[in-house]
Structure 1
Amino acid sequence: MDQPSTPPSSDDAKPASGGSLVRRGFWGLGDQAVVSGGNFLTNIILANAMPATEYGEYGLLWGVLLLLNGVHAAIVTYPLSVRGAGGSVEQIRRLAGGGVAITGCVGVVTVAMSLLACRALAVENVAGWMILAGLAWQLQETLRRALLAGFRMRAVIVGDAISYLGQAAGVAVLAYARQETLPNVFAVLAGTSLLAAAVQVVQVKLRLPRAGEFQEQVAHSWRIGRWSLLTNLIGIVNLQAIPWVVTAFHGPASAAMLQAVNNVLGLTNPIVLGLHGIVTPSVAHARVGGLR
């Protein structure tokens, strides 16, 4: 087993006190505000710039990526958050490396589902960019969860600002230039996620796990992630099935109206998701420390 390494110098990674929990909560909610705010702005810009049919197609493809991200969250990032919270800096780096490797395996599903979705909507020219956007998003999400597992709440904001505020700025430029086509939009999403991932690779300093460690991580991820996978799939499929049914009967322009409503509802995400990003590693860390 790895020996505990020197703890990070950031206050974010110190044992929790009342004050540190408040600070973590503040930075965690601030980070989620960046994430949700970037997504909200992106959708509002596209809703106003794209024709209804094309925006409906974007919403459907984006929903597929949300479904795939739910699979990735259950199998990769949730187990990483739980296991990494009680680990040393070196252990988190190795877990992050293993998480990236598992992400590559899960990526096969992302490729297959993206191809099917694009074929169903007859937008095969979007498939390559959609696949790249989905894989880049999952890669960046793995790295940001490694930072959150180590309670590096302030550090994670840098990459998230590049990814989510960057994508909003990118689609704004596309809209201004009247180039807001589906391939261009997904290219922007892919590019900002890759830039953010590059920053967070440096922040995490990930390490490749040893063979035995990786096998153990895969088994652990499946053991604790399978039930989360089931609940994620049920919730997301129920939500995303509606616009696909609407599209089947009334076309993608009608689905665009549903997406516009979801844009408004998404304003509640910073509190709900921000607390989730703090509570999961905090509870896991407390359990490792012997608290009940």
Structure 2
Amino acid sequence: MRKSLIQQHETCASLRNWAGRGFWAVIDQALFAGANFLVSILLARWLEPAAYGAFSLAYAIFLLLGTVHTGLWTEPMIVYGSGRFREDFAAYQQVLLRYHWRFGGAACLFFLVLHLGFWACGAREIALSFLGLSLAAPTVLYLWLVRRGAYVLLKPRLAALGGGLYLLLYLTQTFFFLRTNTLNTFTALLAMAVASLVSAESIRWRMNTETEQVMDAEKVYNLHWHYGRWALLAGIFSWVPGNIFYLILPAFHGFEAAARFKALMNLLMPILHVNGALGQLLVPGMVRALAQGKLRQFILASLAAFTAFAISYWFLLVTFGSHLLKWIYRDKYLETTDWICWLGLLPVLVATISTISSALRVIEKQKIVAQSYGLISVLTIILGIPLVLRYSLCGSALTLLLVNTLAVFYFYRKAVILNII
């Protein structure tokens, strides 16, 4: 009896700890994503649709580069930092940061070349976006890496404090540019670069990970490449369903079509970011659950929680979606109203896919994740190009729903075969 009470007490304490971490994870994501969301809304209201569409295309390309960084640095860090290098995380992180800045320098040069090329061709708006990204890409990716380091140490509160600073700096700069009539794609990204750098440094300072210990960089590189090559492919493939439309729509229907699609997707960002915040705790939590023989219970609980959040938000969109669209964008983008309710189902599907894919990564089946996302990418392109060509925005929305529905069934089948759910 006494042993049972002790076990119940330990279980309750564990649940409280995870609830607290989940709370700070949501706050962290709300602060970072909230700032980006508000600035995206300001740009949508402030800029002409063509300029906003150009910004959306450029940022989608940055996210593709971000999947490379995440696959080779951040995602392996979550697994190895939570396990193999848990006791030597400070030295491990220093190695990762050195590799990061080399990658950041290459990213800066890449976007500068794109800026010069588009400027020479007379495409001023997209050229300004790439110039801004040449500054923002290295610092934003640095922030991503440092933030996830706080999650590896199960200290999302530190990331949330950095998020508060990021929100303050980003919005202060943005409103300054807005009041001085200088807000454009370049200044918005410049503000992001400054806010990211200062916020990342504040998180690192609070993590107090300075150490004189030296780790074998080649060992880290080999481990990350062995794990990350499949995570890299999975990241690139997973980029396709959500971002390829920012490239296809301008090709067939102009930048204005991309702007309408981005305006619609903005309404889904709050719930996607909430699930993303909780998702950052998934892999470290699953690593520990696997060690305790409780992986299946953890996966099922995560699926239930994420799906409940997504369904609640869907009901909100069904009830108030058209009013939200009009309130946020004034008289712009009102023609997208009809697809709000349908696309509101997308976060429900994404929650299932992200949970199961996290579980597959934990049991080091990242090859399966890469193959799965590869199949999804192929289906997106095969279905998306003709549908977008014929139906524009409606074709993009329909493709997203079809592909993600098929992906849910595919990932669920893989999870059943591997006996993890």
User: Could you state the TM-score of these two structures normalised by the residue count of structure 1?
Assistant: 0.84
Confirm or deny: 8 A CA contact 1:35 1:165 kept in the other structure: no
- CA deviations 1:170-191 (Å, max 9, x no partner) are 3233222211122211111111
Find the aligned partners of 2:243 and 2:167 in 1 and give their Cα distance.
Answer: 22
Note if 1:40 corresponds to 2:43. Answer: no
Q: Is 1:223 matched up with 2:237?
A: no
> Aligned match of 1:75 in 64, 67, 72?
72
Deviations 1:51-89 (A, max 9, x none): 222211111111112111111111111111111123677
Aligned residue runs from structure 1 range 101-250, under 5 A: 101-107=98-104, 110-111=107-108, 113-115=110-112, 117-118=114-115, 119-120=117-118, 121-122=123-124, 123-164=126-167, 166-207=169-210, 213-250=216-253
Q: Count residues with an aligned counterpart.
A: 277
Stretches of structure 2 lacking an aligned partner (at least 5 in a row): 1-12, 296-421
Partner secondary structure for residue 136 of structure 1: helix
Match for residue 51 of structure 2 among 37, 54, 61: 54
Match of 1:284 among 283, 287, 290: 287
Percent identity over paired residues:
23
* Partner of residue 92, structure 1: 89
The one-character-per-residue Cα deviations of 1:180-207 (angstroms, maximum 9, x if unpaired) are 1222111111110011122122123344
Q: Which amino acid aligns with 2:234?
A: T
**Alpha-carbon distance between aligned partners in 2 of 1:237 and 1:105, rounded to the nearest angstrom:** 26
Tell me the distance in 2 between the aligned counterparts of 1:116 and 1:252.
21
Residue 63 (str. 1) matches residue 60 (str. 2): yes
SS of residue matched to 1:17? helix
Query: Alignment partner of 2:182: what SS?
Result: coil
Paired with 2:206 and 2:226, the residues of 1 have a C-alpha distance of: 28
Higher gyration radius (CA): 2
The equivalent residue for 2:269 is: 266
Does 2:252 align with 1:252?
Answer: no
Q: Deviations over 1:19-67 (max 9, x none)?
A: 2111111211221222222221111111111222221111111111211
Distance 1:196 1:129, change over 3 A: same
Bigger relative CO (Cα 8 Å, ≥ 6 apart): 1
Question: What is the CA–CA distance in structure 1 between the aligned matches of 2:270 and 2:15, rounded to whole Å?
Answer: 28
Q: Which moved more, 1:96-105 or 1:188-197?
A: 96-105
Question: What amino acid is aligned across from residue 69 of structure 1 in structure 2?
Answer: G
One-letter code aligned to 1:265? L
Deviation of 1:244 (Å): 1.5
Q: What displacement does 1:156 show?
A: 0.9
Whole-Å separation in 1 of the counterparts to 2:212 and 2:62: 28
| In 2, Cα distance between equivalents of 1:29 and 1:230 | 28
For residues 88 and 225 of structure 1, the distance between their equivalents in structure 2, rounded to whole angstroms, comes to: 16
Amino acid at match of 2:206: Q
Q: Take 2:221 and 2:80, find their aligned partners in 1: how far apart are those partners?
A: 12
CA contact (8 A) 1:79 1:224 kept: yes
Distance 1:92 1:289 in 2: 22
Aligned equivalents of 1:72, 1:47: Cα separation in 2: 28
Letter in 2 for 1:158: L
- The answer (yes or no) to whether the contact 1:96–1:207 under 8 Å persists in 2 is no
3-state SS of the aligned residue for 2:268?
Answer: helix
Greater shift after overlay, 137-146 or 103-112? Answer: 103-112
